[in-house]
Amino acid sequence: MTQGDAPLSADLPSDLADLLVHLSRLAQSAANSPLTAAQWTALRYFARANPVSRTPSAFSEFHATTRGTASQTVRALVDMGLLARHADDRDRRSAKMEVTKAGHDMLAQDPLGSLRKVLAALPQAEQATLARTVRHAVTELATARGAPVFGTCSDCNHCDTSGAQAYCHCTQTLLAAPDMAAFCVDFRPAAGADKA
């Protein structure tokens, strides 16, 4: 019997929930990892986030943790030379975090790379279906918990693609290609964008 022919569980939602948690833990575990799972998540986050989202408080929302815990994680990465803190030109009290050269070098060893390889080996149509399904689950759960949903411009309600260049109605700026692929703390899911 192939894996695809295996009988489905009588309680598929419970099995899926357990499998997703197990997958998440497995993907983040690595022998002799130089960083904790939370530190990897933070480093990955600051490498993927757009400028307005590169703050410790936005990271605390993304990681669903307290601001104190998020600040501790960020401070450890700064002490290791993997993140640098820059004062915001418009708001001197707010710091923006940047991944340093050493941080980008560290990301080359990211344990999540193994999961990316497994997912990349799936057919494109399966990847697209999985992405829509997981995004839908994330949106539903975040809404139920009153937590923000993070996403990128192409699925955002604030994004206007009717002109020659995409425009963000939230930040009132034109969006360049790198901005479109970045995580954003101001993201609002477009109606139906998360439906599988």
Q: Which is nearer to ligand SF4, 40 or 46 (CB)?
A: 46
DSSP string, the chain: --GGGSPPPTTHHHHHHHHHHHHHHHHH--TT-SS-HHHHHHHHHHHHB-GGG-SHHHHHHHTT--HHHHHHHHHHHHHTTSEEEEE-SS-TTSEEEEE-HHHHHHHTT-THHHHHHHHHTS-HHHHHHHHHHHHHHHHHHHHHHT----B-GGGBTTEE-SSSS-EETTTTEE--HHHHTSBBTT--BPTTTT--
Q: Which is nearer to ligand SF4, 129 or 154 (CB)?
A: 154
What are the residues binding ligand SF4 (CB under 6 A)? Answer: 50, 152-153, 156, 158-159, 168, 170-171, 184, 186-187
Q: Which is nearer to ligand SF4, 37 or 167 (CB)?
A: 167
Q: Which is nearer to ligand SF4, 133 or 171 (CB)?
A: 171
* Least distance in angstroms from the C-beta of 182 to ligand SF4: 8
* Least distance in angstroms from the C-beta of 96 to ligand SF4: 15
* Least distance in angstroms from the C-beta of 64 to ligand SF4: 19
* Least distance in angstroms from the C-beta of 46 to ligand SF4: 16
